Amino acid sequence: MVYPLQVLADLPVRLARHAQDRLADERMLRDRNEALRRENLVLNARLQQLLALESENMRLRDLLGSSFRIGERVLIAEILSVDLDPGRQQVIVNKGSSSGVFVGQPVLDANAVMGQVVRTNPLSSTVLLITDSEHALPVEVNRNGLRTIARGTGVGQDLELLHIPKNADIRVGDLLVTSGMGGRFPRGYPVARVIGVRHVPDDPFTVVTAQPTARLDRSREVLLVWTLSPELRGETLSDRTAASESSGPTGRVGVAP
Amino acid sequence: MSEAPSRGTWMVLLTLVAALFLTILPLPAAAEDLRPQWVALTLIFWALALPDRVGVFWAFGTGLVLDVATGTLLGHHALGLSVVVYVAVELHARVRIFPLWQQALLIWLLLVLERLLALWVLGATGQPMPSLAYWWSPFVGLFLWPWLAVVLRDLARRAGTV
């Protein structure tokens, strides 16, 4: 119901952007073209390497006997410039359930994880960013595989890591990537970089803050990702335990002892 | 008005939609804290002008739409707006004969009340507390009220709502 209003509010910004593109002079366009071509070349070179690595990875995983699929479908969506409640970190994108977007779907930008879809309408959906105070996602330190949970602080653009023991090996500058433990985010996408490690004397845990690598407040386009096909999604750990509990012989419902 | 009680209701709806639009219109980050409570101001105006037609139910419904539009907890704004509009309807006979500046002061009180209730919801649901800049918008509303009241009154007269 409010979607037309939101589109209307987005219109001035869209028009300004359009006008800016129109007015860009030829030299600037040529420069940008040149830069993009160079970047494309570099990325293509890296992609070749990546393909080789990916197939090698698949072979090794086959040897280990673990099932792991790469191959994802993505959809590019645009963020509507609509001001939402300043206390929550969320954005509205212009793709909704009519494009197959579902609740819980991971949202990325070109650099890293941005958040997940929390509400879908036919033509738009709301994305909760990882910096919202009600968002937590399982991550691991890329350097040594230390698993933890990154929670948004809701104020500013920082994340905090929960329950890091005093003797944990974590340093400023460590890259955090998704660990895929929750079954929601695909594994191995960059999330944030550690910017502060503090030891507070009366706190049993280390206070670690991190800064998202995604440009949460600047990107205009986002990627909606389908990582697992529905039958594979049914095989995540939480679903499996839920299924075995509900179909258990005792038919036990409620809290496990 | 008595012979056609629904005359000009479209004007109330139109101004409320405009207020919603102004609420979600993107602003530069510096001006964001100064955004007045458009919907609350508009609802208070209509509650004072048409106390027998615009009341708590209007406020509640508009509040729900505002919640959906800004992505807050459903009922977050609806609660505050209902209370504020209730007070406005109760006081309408007195407030209408106040001079504009005195009206503005009372409106400021109502706007602060709305913010307080919203803050209370934030606290009750465990969301982070906003900074002190949260309290700027009632002051903007205070200065905006005389102009808004004149413009809305003119619109209402032309549409035949009042």
Query: In 3D, which of A3, A202, A209, A230 has the Cα closest to residue A105?
Result: A230
Pick the CATH number of A136-212 from 3.40.50.300, 2.40.50.140, 1.10.375.10, 2.40.10.350: 2.40.10.350
Mark yes or no for CB contact A87/B32 under 8 Å: no
Q: Give the gap in angstroms from C-alpha B67 to the nearest C-alpha of chain A.
A: 9
Q: Is A138 helix (H, G, I), strand (E, B) or coil?
A: strand
Residue B83, pLDDT score: 95
pLDDT tens string A198-216: 888 888 888 899 999 888 8
pLDDT reading at B76 higher than 50: yes
Alpha-carbon distance A157 to B15, whole Å?
Answer: 35
Residue B1's pLDDT band (cuts 50, 70, 90) = very low
pTM of the shown model = 0.72
The chain-wide mean pLDDT, for chain B, equals: 88
pLDDT at B121 over 60: yes
pLDDT in tens, B26-66: 887 778 888 899 999 999 999 999 898 888 999 999 999 99
The three-state DSSP-derived secondary structure of B95-138 is HCCCCHHHHHHHHHHHHHHHHHHHHHHHHHCCCCCCCHHHHHHH
Q: Domain extents for chain A? A: 1-70, 136-212
Per the structure, the complete domain to which residue B47 belongs is given by 9-21+34-159
Higher-confidence residue of A183 and A123: namely A123
Asked if A178 and A139 touch (Cβ cutoff 8 Å), the reply is yes
Q: What is the ipTM of this complex?
A: 0.72
A chain contacts of residue B26, beta-carbon cutoff 8 Å: 9-10, 12-13, 81-83
Q: What pLDDT sits at residue A89?
A: 84
Indicate yes or no: CB of B21 within 8 angstroms of CB of A5: yes
B162 or A241, higher pLDDT: B162
Mean pLDDT of A28-44: 87
* HEC string for A155-203: CCCCEEEEEEECCCCCCCCCEEEECCCCCCCCCCCEEEEEEEEECCCCC
Q: What is the largest CA-CA distance in chain B?
A: 50
Residue where the block lists tokens 């009600």: A134
What integer pLDDT is reported at residue A199 of this predicted model?
87
pLDDT beyond 50 at A248:
no
Instruction: Please tell me the predicted confidence (pLDDT) of residue B140.
Output: 93
DSSP at A96 = -
Chains A and B form CB pairs within 8 A to the count of: 62
Q: How many domains, chain B?
A: 1
Q: Which residues of A touch B65 (CB under 8 A)?
A: 1-2
pLDDT the model gives residue A246? 46
The pLDDT assigned to A71 comes to 53
Neighbours of A81 (CB within 10 A): 20
Determine, yes or no, domain membership for B3: no
- Say yes or no to pLDDT of A40 above 70: yes
* Whether the predicted pLDDT of A238 surpasses 80: no
Residue that the structure tokens 């479908």 belong to = A73
At A90, the pLDDT band (50, 70, 90 cuts) reads confident
Say if residue B158's pLDDT is above 90: no
How much is the average pLDDT of B67-82? 89
For B69, the closest chain A residue by CA position comes to A2
Alpha helices in B5-75 (DSSP H): 9-24, 29-32, 38-49, 56-70
- pLDDT bin (cut points 50, 70, 90) of residue A65 is low
**CA proximity to A72, closest of A180, A222, A229:** A229
Q: How many percent of chain A have pLDDT more than 90? A: 8
Is B2 inside any structural domain? Answer: no
Share of chain A above pLDDT 70, in %: 83
Residue B5: per-residue pLDDT:
57
State the Cα–Cα distance between residues A86 and A95, nearest whole angstrom: 22
- The residues, any chain, with a CB within 8 Å of residue A63's CB and separated by 6 or more, are none
Q: How far is B62 from chain A (nearest CA, A)?
A: 12
In this complex, the residue of A84, A134, A155 whose CB is nearest that of residue B71 is A84
Say if the Cβ atoms of A86 and B27 lie within 8 Å.
no
Are the Cβ atoms of A88 and B71 closer than 8 angstroms? yes
Residue A97 touches partner B, C-beta closer than 8 Å: no
Which span out of A50-54, A130-134, B53-57, B85-89 was modeled with the highest average pLDDT?
B85-89
Query: Does residue B139 carry a pLDDT above 80?
Result: yes
pLDDT at B132 (0 to 100): 86
